[in-house]
Amino acid sequence: MIQDELSRMLNRPLAVGNRRIDIRLLLAPMTFLGNVAFRQLVAGFGGCGLLFSEMCSAGRIPHENRNNSCYFRWRDEELPSLVCQIVGDAPDTMAGAARIIEQNGFFGVDINFGCSAAAICSRQYGAALLKTPRRAAAIVAAVRRAVSIPLFVKFRTGWSDDPRPAVELAKRFEDAGADALTFHPRVAPDRRSRPPRWEYISAVKQAVKIPVIGNGNVFSRKDCLKMLRTTGCDAVAIGRLAVAMPWVFATWSLQYLPGPDIHRQVALDLLDLLDHHFAAQQAIRRFKRFGQYFSAAFRFGHTLHMGIHNAASLEQIREVIENFFRQDAERTAEPNMNFFI
């Protein structure tokens, strides 16, 4: 069975720097989506080897208060499996943020060289740094000198559809002290308009000795198994599918079988968790972002998505969910990719 084979492949220990993870299926970092409430929901099911935080500004971290920050926020219980992702362009600033992350007990720190959003790249953060390999490597080296916890680097193919710069960047990051690489094989300007080139993951994997985590368009067990088999990557990070199915880690890793009411219960549980962790408007904003991907599981998902999008309060969102699951909750065999933009 595919599920049995996948479970065996995922449940193998993996050394990352001076630490170890027991499951090779990870939650990819996602802004607004990978928040503390959503991570708590995922952790409740189990089966996830590592959780990655939302993208955090390295410059802001020294001034953040974990009790009211929108992004630099966590539960103490999740720290042994939580990696904090940081973004910025100054080696000293990135190193200073990494020190604070280590002092707070995180499993590791992740440097974002993958975000291609215009607001990030216009500041020469994220994927923009792939254009300046020396500076990117200098940031990795500065963070390496600052901390002893595992250091991850997430990056894309680059700014042209050619794997050679990505391979050279991977070598630079390894030489600079990275303990693991998360590679998303899309060019930076491509916001998912074309499928990722998984063969580029193989090229990166062959170029370095440290673990390589594959990322991009893993939407089923078959996808996950294919990525592991064909690319040789050491682990898989999933993002959008995890939002649509927060129990997916437990299903693939632990062979958990969800009950028929799982979608409704997950939506209501997340609503409660967001209400607990965030002020009302922050919670509403995050649930609306979640609702887009979550709606992909249903034949009439557009009805659910629009109802959530138009709701003005957490109470109205709850009413939309309850009404939808009383009437229109016919599931689809595969997620509706129109929601996964």
CATH number at residue 171: 3.20.20.70
As for how many domains the chain has, the answer is: 2
Which one from 115, 121, 224, 233 is the annotated catalytic residue?
115
pTM to 2 decimal places: 0.95
- State the residue range of the domain holding 316: 262-339
Give the end of a domain, one of 254, 278, 293. Answer: 254
Give the end of a domain, one of 254, 281, 301. Answer: 254
Q: What is the 3-state secondary structure (H, E, C) of the chain?
A: CHHHHHHHHHCCCEEECCEEECCCEEECCCCCCCCHHHHHHHHHHCCCCEEEEEEEECCCHHHCCCCCCCCCCCCHHHHHHEEEEEECCCHHHHHHHHHHHHHCCCCEEEEEECCCCHHHHCCCCHHHHHHCHHHHHHHHHHHHHHCCCCEEEEEEEECCCCHHHHHHHHHHHHHHCCCEEEEEEEECCCCCCCCCCHHHHHHHHHHCCCCEEEECCCCCHHHHHHHHHHHCCCEEEECHHHHHCCCHHHHHHHCCCCCCCHHHHHHHHHHHHHHHHCCHHHHHHHHHHHHHHHHHHECCHHHHHHHHHHCCCHHHHHHHHHHHHHHCCCECCCCCHHHCC
Active site residue 115: yes
Q: How confident is the prediction along the chain (341 residues), in pLDDT tens digits per residue?
A: 555 899 999 999 999 999 999 999 999 999 989 999 999 999 999 999 999 999 999 999 999 999 989 899 999 999 999 999 999 999 999 999 999 999 999 999 999 999 999 999 999 999 999 999 999 999 999 999 999 999 999 999 999 999 999 999 999 999 999 999 999 999 987 766 678 999 999 999 999 999 999 999 999 999 999 999 999 999 999 999 999 999 999 999 999 999 999 999 999 999 999 999 999 999 999 999 999 999 988 888 899 999 999 999 999 999 999 999 998 678 877 776 776 66
Do 13 and 40 have their domain in common? yes
Give the end of a domain, one of 226, 254, 282. Answer: 254
Do 282 and 217 have their domain in common? no
Do 225 and 112 have their domain in common? yes
Do 183 and 234 have their domain in common? yes
Do 84 and 124 have their domain in common? yes
Do 276 and 178 have their domain in common? no
Do 195 and 317 have their domain in common? no
Do 41 and 158 have their domain in common? yes
Do 267 and 250 have their domain in common? no
Do 225 and 268 have their domain in common? no
Do 334 and 317 have their domain in common? yes
Do 124 and 215 have their domain in common? yes
